[in-house]
Structure 1
């Protein structure tokens, strides 16, 4: 059974059939799903999903692009949410320099504060890093993030950068992008990284794997990701499923 370590079933793209699609998961080989908050609203929605579906767990946090909404009152609310029984991580948090807003100082301030929160509540972190490799790593190193542990979501950097995060004890989140024909760098990372450092994720409804690229993504497409990882690493698909399941269980202390 597959564990999807990063999904967004709170997204409005699932409004038309959320219950139907989630209720189909376990009959389709998906054992558990971790729904991940991206702002205060979706963190609250994530909690509700964990209460509604026995196989859904959650992460709460504010994505770098939404950090302008944060203040200490909201951090306290995140702390309350983090202490709920099925919340297993703080995330997704980090830095995103693809967009000009919020400004980088704002992103950095709240990235650091949310890493501190994770340390307070003793939960791992889910890192979002886009076009911000050096600053993300430098901040994590300064915060001793290796003591917190976690996963680099939707890993998109080089083998050299992967080595740094692996040395820090972090997992690499691998999803649909690895199946894209032009995804040379991430295929190299998957080849390099030990299988015991890889977890499966969708980031759904985004980043559907081939042959469904461009469509709404869901955990039901994860077997395509499994097949590509198995091909790259010379493993059987059952091995990839079992080993990544074990990794996810360890990552989130499930």
Structure 2
């Protein structure tokens, strides 16, 4: 079983499926992707994300506001906690810090991230963290406001081994996307080699970042096996073992998923 631990099903481009999401999900199921976590990036579409999880038994949901969503309504703690009570909401996020694309509003991003960390801690749900060029601030806020017992995941990881190591010391998982297959991702591949198997997750982040050999196309969960194949080769294990380990990790990080 493969699990796509981070995708945006509400944003998939479905032209080749005649606009039918069910067909896209079936295409993923046919290549062994048996679970998918549909990750929210703003509150305006939170209900739509949750509706997808309600509609499809093999889909879960998370609720949060992406750091680059400048026009999004700012979250309040109670709203996030209310969403967290839904049966199929298994995580808070994605949230975090992105200074690569948006370094002009650091204070706003930090306050938003803090509220998400507090919501995750109070709801006892893990948090899905987006971080780019904000290593120190990301880790500092996690230490100050996060729940290190339930912790979370640094998704679509592209940062240094030092950051990965520090995050894992805080009980975080590291999730690898299709970027690992890119020609210019040699540093990331070295990081993957070092991350212990029991801390790894895999994802598509679809519809973004389609892996080789699908670069230039809109990404979707059915391309997850290409990510898995690359990661398995880097770890020197079979694809079957990689699938088994990352699925176990998923349910260990997101225990609510096992009961819904």
TM-score band, normalised by the shorter chain? over 0.9
The size of the alignment, in residue pairs, is: 253
Q: Could you list the structure 1 runs, at least 4 aligned residues long, displaced by more than 3 angstroms after superposition.
A: 67-72
Cα deviation digits, residues 119-144 of structure 1 (max 9, x gap): 11110000001121111111111224
Cα deviation digits, residues 73-129 of structure 1 (max 9, x gap): x54333222111011000101011123377111111111011101111110000001
For structure 2, the residue ranges without an aligned partner over 5 or more in a row are none
Change (3 A) 1:118 1:144: closer
**Residue 5 of structure 2: aligned partner:** 5
- What does residue range 108-187 of structure 1 map to in structure 2 within 5 Å? 108-187=110-189
**Residue 244 of structure 1: aligned partner:** 246
**Residue 33 of structure 1: aligned partner:** 36
What is the deviation of 1:60? 0.4
What is the deviation of 1:67? 5.7
- What does residue range 1-254 of structure 1 map to in structure 2 within 5 Å? 1-11=1-11, 13-14=13-14, 16-66=19-69, 69-71=72-74, 74-100=76-102, 103-253=105-255, 254=257
TM-score, length of structure 1 as denominator length: 0.94
What is the deviation of 1:208? 0.7
For structure 1, the residue ranges without an aligned partner over 5 or more in a row are none
Cα deviation digits, residues 8-63 of structure 1 (max 9, x gap): 01116247232211133323311100000000123221101011111000110111
Distance 1:122 1:91 in 2: 13
Cα deviation digits, residues 205-237 of structure 1 (max 9, x gap): 001110001211111111111111111111011
Name the SS for the 2:93 alignment partner.
Answer: strand
Distance 2:69 2:77 in 1: 13
Cα deviation digits, residues 132-165 of structure 1 (max 9, x gap): 1111111111224423311001111111111101
